[in-house]
Structures are given as structure tokens and as C-alpha cells.
Amino acid sequence: MGRSDKLFEVKEVALGLGWYAAGIGFLFVLGLLLSGVVKH
């Protein structure tokens, strides 16, 4: 495969991983808040 049709760019992959971390963090905090609502 030539350079022009590379499957991934390093910078884009790093940004993508950041989005994942944010997404999982969001889900986690939302879950924690929900459990607090139910508990009290």
C-alpha cells in the first residue's frame, strides 16, 4: 500500500482515543449520578 492510502494517521488516532476517554468518562459520571438519584 502506498503512503497516500494509509489506513490511519497517528494524530487522528490520538484524537480519537481522547474522544473515547471522554465518552467513557461521561457514561461513568452519568451512571454515578443516576445511582445517587436512585439511592436517595
Partner 1 sequence: MSVLRKVSWHQLQGIFYYVGRIITWVSVMMVFPLLVSLGYREWNIAVDFVLSISVGLSLGLALQLMPKPKGQLSWLEGMTIASLSWIFMVLVSALPFWLSGFYLSYLDAIFDAMSGYTTTGLTLVTDLDHLPYGVNMWRQLICFLGGQGVVVLVLTFFLKNAPGSFKLYVGEAKSDKILPNVVHTARAIWYIGLMFLAIGTVSLGAVAFLEGMRPDRALLHGLWIFLAGWSGAGYTPQSQSILYYHSTVFELLSLAFMLLGSVNFALHYAVLTKKRRELWQNIETKAYVISIMTLLMLLYLGLNRLGVYSTTFALFRKGFFQLISAHTGTGYATVYSADFAFRWGALPVFTLILAMLFGGMTGSTAGGLKMLRVGIVGKGVIQDVKRLFYPESAVVVTKFHFYSDMVLNDQHVRSALMIIILYILTFAVGTGVGAMYGYPLTDAAFESASAVGNVGLSAGITSAAMPVGMKITYILIMYLARLEFLSVFALIAIIIAGVTRKARRVF
Q: Please state the closest distance from residue 3 (CB atom) to partner 1, in A.
A: 15
Q: Could you give the C-alpha distances from 30 to 19, 39, 40, in angstroms and in order?
A: 16, 14, 16
Provide the 8-state DSSP code for 2. Answer: -
The amino acid sitting at 8 is: F
Please name the helix (run of DSSP H) or strand (run of DSSP E) that holds residue 5, with its range, or none: none
Residues 9-38 that bind partner 1 (CB under 8 A): 9, 12-13, 15-17, 19-21, 23-24, 27-28, 30-32, 34-36, 38
Q: Residue for cell digits 474522544?
A: 19
Size of the site for partner 1 (CB under 8 A): 25
Instruction: Name the residues that contact partner 1, by CB under 8 A.
Output: 1, 7-9, 12-13, 15-17, 19-21, 23-24, 27-28, 30-32, 34-36, 38-40
